[in-house]
Structure 1
Amino acid sequence: MEEHEYPNGEITILWKPKLCTHAAVCVKTLSKVYNPKDRPWIKTENATTQELIDQVAKCPSGALSIKKIMP
């Protein structure tokens, strides 16, 4: 399955577009990070790692997930 990675230096957000139901929870929760009109559409530098983790946990489809970056 196709997967896109968006790292911030501490974690990587993984996005699986085929799972996305476009509920827009991500956009509504962290609009400074998620903007479907921009490329790349996820800008992890616009939020703290904890804000990103908390938001990804709210993704209803599971299209967004977190991968920890090993030091």
Structure 2
Amino acid sequence: MEEHEYPNGEITVLWKPKLCIHAAVCVKSLSKVYNPKDRPWIKIENATTQELIAQVAKCPSGALSIKNRT
């Protein structure tokens, strides 16, 4: 399955487009990070690691997930 990675040095946000149901929870809760009109549409540097972790936990489809730095 296609997957895009957005690292910030502490964590990596993973996005799986085929799982996305476009509920827009990410856009509504962290619009400074998620903007579907921009490319790339995820600008992980615009939020803290804790903000990102909290928001990704709310993704209803599981299209967004967190990979910890190893």
Residue deviations 1:28-60 (CA, integer Å, cap 9, x gap)? 000000000001100010000000000000000
Task: Give TM-score scaled by structure 2 length.
Answer: 0.96
* SS, match of residue 5 in structure 1: strand
Q: What CA distance in whole angstroms lies between the structure 1 residues aligned with 2:44 and 2:8?
A: 6
Q: What CA distance in whole angstroms lies between the structure 1 residues aligned with 2:13 and 2:40?
A: 12
- Deviating 4+ runs (over 4 angstroms): none
**Superposition deviation, residue 7 in structure 1:** 0.5
Q: What CA distance in whole angstroms lies between the structure 2 residues aligned with 1:54 and 1:41?
A: 19
Task: Give TM-score scaled by structure 1 length.
Answer: 0.95
Match of 1:45 in 2: 45
Equivalent runs, 1:10-29 vs 2, <5 Å: 10-29=10-29
RMSD: 0.3
Uncovered stretches (5+) of structure 2, i.e. residues with no partner: none
